[in-house]
Amino acid sequence: MKFLLVPLFLALSCSSAPGEKPPVKAAPLPAGFGAYWFQGKAELSSYTLEQARYGEIHQGEAVLIFVTEDFSRSKQVKLDDPTTNPDDRLPVLKLNFEKKFLTGIYPYSLLTSTFTPLDQSPTVKVSTSVQEWCGHIFTQLNLRRKQYHVSLKSYFESEGDRETDLPITTLEDELWNRIRLNPAGLPVGAVQLVPGTTYTRLQHQPLQAEAATATLAAAPGTPRFGTTSPLQAYTLKYQSGRRLVIYFEQAFPHRILGWDETYLDRAGSKTPRELTTRATRHRTLQLDYWRTHHHEHLGWRDSLGLRK
């Protein structure tokens, strides 16, 4: 995995189309951003997970993997060699958001990858896959000039294979990256948001913008997160009744300590129940994990407290 140092003045630019209001405001990258994020390492955090599904709470684990990398503007994939075409290079913060949990006999494995430019212009790509023993589902959003192109692949007859477009709107999936870039740029007040792709797939909801209220406030200290450092809570309350709260450190690098997601769980039930998915950070480390793929490196999973 290759990295090029990116100057902090990129945060002052915005690449929205002329005449368009950007979905989120740009905020200067924090002091120390480069020293933390341009080391050639990723930040890996493990979480204990209590996942709502089928009217019950299931135990599992989650991992958030944040890393800066050079992306292709034209192809919207990671560049193999950014020096061959510098004009095509787009520095991004990538989040790989993984969840694993069991429902009875069979496992769920979910992964969402989100690519957000360091200049805080609209996120260029989100892809989500959900695998379980019934089959698998894939959703991808690609930013075009004035819209997101959405591709949905599903084994459910009611969803099937679809290609559609969405207006450029703030994506819930990108807000995790924007917390890390600078939480001062998070949208607050009455907003339009596209709910997270994992939520919409698990609940078989259409992928479309919804009205919500967003707030950013100090979070009360709690033994749950095992820290006395000042915390902040970013809360999304959707008109539909769903509520998402992301807890993170007030100080840079704004590490995410956990989240609560409350909604009416409709999956596999004639009488939906309101349940809360909850995740709490276990451990965090910085590591060039793409080089740790031999048997001798299994110990790194112990360092994160992950199952082998």
* Tokens standing for residue 7: 């100057």
Tell me: the pLDDT tens digits for 18-73? 334 445 666 788 889 999 999 999 999 999 999 999 999 999 999 999 999 999 99
What was the pLDDT predicted at 222?
77
How far apart, in whole angstroms, are the C-alpha atoms of residue 140 and residue 248?
27
* Tokens standing for residue 12: 């002052």
Contacts of 10 (CB under 8 A, 6+ apart): 29, 91, 118, 119
How far apart, in whole angstroms, are the C-alpha atoms of residue 280 and residue 270?
30
Q: What is the pTM of this model?
A: 0.91
What was the pLDDT predicted at 25?
64
Tell me: the pLDDT tens digits for 297-306? 999 999 999 9
Tell me: the pLDDT tens digits for 18-32? 334 445 666 788 889
Confidence class of residue 221 from pLDDT cuts 50, 70 and 90? confident
**Full 3-state SS string of 90-135:** EEEEEEEEEEEEEECCEEEEEEEEEEEECCCCCCCEEEEEEEECCE
Average the pLDDT over 74-101 and give the result: 96
